[in-house]
Amino acid sequence: MPAPKNTIKTKLLSGDLQIGAFLDLASTTVAEIAGRAGYDWCLVDGEHGPSDTAQIRDQLMALASVGCPALVRVPCGEDWVLKRALDIGAQTLLVPMVDTAAQAEAVARAVRYAPEGTRGLAAGVVRASGYGAEPDYMHTANDQICLMVQAESRAAVENVDAIAATPGVDCVFVGPSDLAADMGHLGNPGAPEVVEAITHIMARTRAAGKAVGMFCLDPGQLARYRDMGATFIAVASDVVSMTSVLRSRAAEAREQLG
């Protein structure tokens, strides 16, 4: 049997709009709830969330059990980190802090088997192949890998043309908070200079024929980013959603009870 079809990549290449949620709570229960909530995908966050490799695997299993496509944001673009994420079953990876075409090329090779890349081969013993139950996995896996790189620095803005043109990169995902901080606007991604940089990243990425991703929890900005060309948009966070609801409920109860 071949590697499973990567529906995230299929829709990404078709230009379909996909919305999703970031999962930072390292909880299989939360992952299962989010997976049933109606998003096109859920991202297990290994960069800012506390999940280790086994916890990421378990959340991937929880999402798979409810039929929700999943991706993983790895903590960095090191080869061994990428290899572990792929071996536990991730087919779509978001790699943070990719500032140059050389970095983009390195991660694009690291996520693919030879001759296209340098991914270590252990297909017979990893979850990605069903622990060897899919004998054709190693020959078909490369086509189902989807690589997203995160542009979130001045350097990435300057190098976006080369980054987006890198073979094997499927999507450039804008990280507005880190970009704003790197540009001297900590906590203010709406600063005009930052907005200009985001607009530039999106336009140049689209010009290169690649998809654009965006993190946006402000409902009032979603249509704007869609119209700018973003087709892969994070619209929710498990942490933000939970804290917002819990705090609102506490305030409402106190108001109602006097």
- Positions marked catalytic: 48
CA pair distance 164, 212, nearest whole angstrom: 10
CA 89: distance to chain centroid? 15
Q: How far is CA 10 from CA 55, 66, 227, 254, in A?
A: 27, 20, 21, 48
**Dist CA 257 CA 237 (whole Å):** 30
User: Does residue 176 contact residue 185 with C-beta atoms inside 8 Å?
Assistant: no
